[in-house]
Amino acid sequence: LRMSDSTYFLAFTTASNTAGTVLCASSLVASQQSGLLAVAATSAGIKVITCTSSANVTANFYAEGFFGIASGTNSEMYRVRSNVAGSTGFTVTLYDGLANALTTGAAFWLMPNIYNNAIVGSEALNLPIGILPITVTTGGTWVWLQTWGVANPYHVGATVAAGAIRLGTTGSVTNMVAT
């Protein structure tokens, strides 16, 4: 959504927050990284990938997120259409077929949709995805986050008035680095 000099993106937030709060993508958990989640060998062109994991995966947890491959000479990333629930195994369905075959044990990663379950970040450990332009009084709801243009982030202490945002423990900006 584009409104004058700002761009907004729809995100789902889990809690109420005041205007100016910087919201972040949910933290990446270990089970989403290569080595803790195995992929079965798959041919090129296939859209459904079989994964095994020791962690429970809920249905569509990875929907609209990404599946990435980083092995050999290939570094590919695909958008995830859906995934089925599973406790020891599950399948991930991609929008597009694989350009290259996967071998068992290929290095890969899964990332949920960064705009789903937006959280208040803590100390530069999270990826900022936008700023709330208004106060949200109900958690568990979809909100518009400002992602571009002049914004009014919630500040803590003295900050430099430009540059990259560094988050505080409450999702507020603790300093900005001029670039």
pLDDT one-digit tens code per residue, 147-171 = 888 777 765 444 333 334 544 545 4
pLDDT of residue 162: 36
Entry pTM: 0.66
- Residue 32 confidence (pLDDT): 55
pLDDT digits (tens, 9 = 90+) for 99-144: 988 887 777 778 888 888 787 766 555 677 888 888 888 777 888 8
pLDDT of residue 59: 92
Find tokens 């079989």 and name the residue.
50
